[in-house]
Every structure is written in C-alpha cells, then in structure tokens.
Amino acid sequence: MRPLEGKAVLVTGASSGIGRATAFAFAGVGARLLLCARRLELLQEMEAPLMAAGASAVSSFRLDVCDRGAVDAAIAGLPPEWAAIDVLVNNAGLSRGLTKLYEDDPRDWDEMIDTNVKGLLSVSRAVVPGMVARNAGHVINLGSTAGHTTYANGAVYCATKAAEKAISEGLKIDLMGTAVRVTSIDPGMAETDFSRVRFHGDEQRAAKVYEKITPLTPQDIADAILWAATRPAHVNIHSIVLTTIDQANSTVFHRHD
C-alpha cells in the first residue's frame, strides 16, 4: 500500500539540498511532484530522473517565495490537475552571515526574514485554504534546532526558525476541527549548501563547519519528512527534532580527533 501514490506534493526550494532529496523521496512512493525554486533550470534537469525514480508526474515552475504577489499568482494559476495540493513542504529557506547582531548587515536580516518567515507564510496562505475546503492535506514546514536554542552570532536566523516553530504550532491550532495536518521538521547540522550560502560562497569557511563531524545528509531529513507524511490520516506528527550523533543541540558538538 502506498498512501501517497498519485497525490500532489508541492515542494518549495526544491532545486538542491533537502528540497531536492525530498522530491526524490516522494517520487519513490509514486507521488505527483509540483516543484518550485528560483533556479528553474535545475528543476527541469531533475524531471526525468524523478520520473525514473517512480514519480507519477512532475511539473516545475520558477518561484521566489519572497514575492507574495508571485506566490499568489502561481498557486491561483495552477492547471486543474495540479490545483488540489495534498502535501505542502515549505522547504525554501536560508541563512546569511554569522556575525554579532550589532555588527550585522541588515540586508542579510531582510533576506532571512523575507524567505524563512514571510515566504513560509505566503505559500501557506495560498495553499492551505484549498486543503481546508477539501478537508484533507498536510503542511510540513522546515524548522531547525536553531529555533529551539539560540547560538552566538546567529540571532536573526535563530529568530526566523523560532518563528517557524510558532507558526507551525499556531497553524495546527487554527486547523483544529479539520483533517489538515501540520508538522515541523527541525534538523540540526546537515551538509548541504546551507553554510556556503550563509558565508556568501566562501567554500573554505563553509567546509570548516563540518570539520571532524559526521553531519546529517539531505536524504536523512527527507526520510523524516516522508515518514511524517505517510502516517495514518488520524495521526499528526507535530514535530521531529533530528541531529547527527555528533550534535546535542545548536551549541554542543563532538568533533572527532
């Protein structure tokens, strides 16, 4: 039995990292994949491999979740066969900078808040009413251990992930009385483009983040997302916090000799 076979799954930020791995995880159970990201060419390159991996169908479109008008237009303009979204994975997100708050670049704050908080809100606002009308659906938001424990030089990023946690909890409360589920997936250190983006392309500095640590992989996180999505319809997984065995929380790590 494959409960998600033929179901429409929308993944934001699907062109790389956790989003890409999530697309392949859902492909493996026969889902129909609706993928968006700013880099459309990467999504298009994924389409044939996703079909080969078992997806029932794949459709990709360019979208910057920071642009609320574009989000509304994209969701409202979906073809009839894609209009009923069964699972929304709000994956699009990023971190910029690792600097003391009073020395930080406000442009980095804006990008993180616009993507991690406002983007999540905009996509959810566009998609969730349809789920409520159909009395079915699942919203899966990507949080972080950073939303549970604030670390030095990361106040604004941590604040955006604390906001994601509160939004997920609040949305679940707002959806009581419906069959729509809400889950927050909160990973710790995972080796993706996260640190490269945070350090504005500084490969050397990004590599040091994972030095002498075995990090999570995007596939580990996608596995948790898929597990939450495949529970029986009456079961809501509110949150999953997952880390590598070398991490206790946002500030405590074990680095191998």
Q: pLDDT tens across 196-242, in order?
A: 777 777 788 877 888 899 999 999 999 999 999 999 999 999 999 99
Output the pLDDT for position 208: 81
Enumerate the domain spans of the chain.
Answer: 8-242
Q: Which residue is it, tokens 């993928």? A: 35
Residues 102, 151, 157, 210: which is the catalytic one? 157
CB neighbours of residue 257 within 10 Å: 3
- Token duo for residue 17: 């990292």
Residues of the chain with pLDDT under 70: 1
Q: How many CA atoms lie within 13 A of 108 on its CB side?
A: 21
Q: What is the DSSP letter of 83?
A: S
Q: In what order do the strands lie in the sheet with 8-12?
A: 57-62, 32-37, 8-12, 87-90, 137-142, 180-187, 239-242
Is 210 catalytic? The answer is no
* pLDDT recorded at residue 207: 79
- Tokens representing 31? 């889902």
| Confidence at residue 257, expressed as pLDDT on a 0 to 100 scale | 81
Buried residues in 159-183 as b, exposed as e (16+ CB within 10 A)? bbbbbbbebbeebbeebeeeebbbb
**pTM across the whole model:** 0.95
Q: How far apart are CA 37 and CA 244, in angstroms?
A: 27
Q: Specify the amino acid at residue 100.
A: K
Buried b (16+ CB within 10 A) or exposed e, 65-91: bbbbebbeebbeebeeebeebbbbbbb
H-only helix segments in 138-179: 155-174
Would you give the DSSP letter of residue 33?
E
pLDDT at position 1? 61
pLDDT of residue 197: 74
Return the CATH architecture of domain 8-242: 3-Layer(aba) Sandwich (3.40)
